[in-house]
């Protein structure tokens, strides 16, 4: 199906460049991206807030701890992780 989509110039240039680097057509890259968004459920059931920068911990915790989220929230605040630190 053919459709028309308006994209910001900067995003279009980046997408076109990425497609060229991968040796793909722009339409193939766009299709791949849409499939990732549509086919995969949102990680925590909700998208990241607009404009919020995510830390590496935020990005990886779902991969490490799964959907349970029962892992440590921040390793730097748990005193047991500092045992023998600096010795």
pLDDT of 6 higher than 60: yes
Q: For residues 9 and 79, which has the higher predicted lDDT (pLDDT)? A: 9
**How confident is the model over 28-60, as pLDDT tens digits?**
999 998 888 888 665 545 555 566 676 776 667
Q: What is the pLDDT at residue 26?
A: 93
pTM given for the model: 0.46
Residues 64-81 have a mean pLDDT of 62
- Distance in angstroms (rounded) separating the CA atoms of residues 31 and 44: 24
């Amino acid at each position: 199906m053919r459709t028309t989509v308006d994209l910001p110039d900067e995003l279009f240039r980046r997408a076109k460049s990425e497609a060229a680097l991968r040796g793909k057509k722009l339409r193939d890259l766009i299709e791949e991206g849409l499939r990732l968004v549509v086919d995969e459920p949102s990680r925590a059931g909700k998208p990241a807030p607009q404009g919020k920068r995510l830390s590496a911990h935020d990005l990886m915790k779902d991969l490490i701890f799964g959907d349970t989220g029962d892992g440590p929230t921040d390793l730097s605040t748990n005193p047991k992780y500092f045992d023998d630190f600096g010795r």
